[in-house]
Amino acid sequence: IGTIGAKSHANGNILWTALYIPETKNYTTAYVWVTASAASSEVKLGFYKISSGGLPSDKILETGGIATTSTGLKSISITSTLFDKGWVIVAVASNGSASFNAMAGGAMWGYFSGFNGIQFTSFSLHTYANALPNPWSGTITESGDNAILVGLT
């Protein structure tokens, strides 16, 4: 188990992380923890299937904007969405420079009590757009950095 830290988010970038879904079911809420706020900013989460090459492919769900103008656990209601058991890739897209709770140094299990999704590693950067592409296209550059913690219930 690694240590808990923070991952800053450069304005306009997309960061990637993986999330393990431990059971097939409908989820209705998505979460992210803001550790440093940014004025007039928000973050969107995009959940993607994983291609055979280990990259994001088809988009399962994109949340609306989650305000990052204050710190703490932030949630957003989502349309009830069936996620299959297994791994997904999550795009963390921000139009500001907020920081998020992140995991450094290895796998992390059950950080948020009651969360059904468990993530493991941060992945890369890509330019932010108002709407996340479906299916994913473009190049991804690995950052090898802290993993932003996200969750579903």
Judge whether residue 21 has pLDDT over 50.
yes
* Confidence bin at 9 (pLDDT 50/70/90): low
- pTM equals 0.80
* Residue range 30-87, pLDDT digits in tens: 998 888 888 888 888 999 998 887 778 899 999 999 999 999 999 999 999 999 998 8
Q: Is 12 left (phi over 0), alpha (psi -120 to 50) or beta?
A: left
Question: Helices then strands (H, E): number in the chain?
Answer: 0, 13
Q: How far apart are CA 44 and CA 94, in angstroms?
A: 6
pLDDT the model gives residue 69 = 94
- Measured CA to CA, the distance from residue 97 to residue 117 in angstroms comes to 25
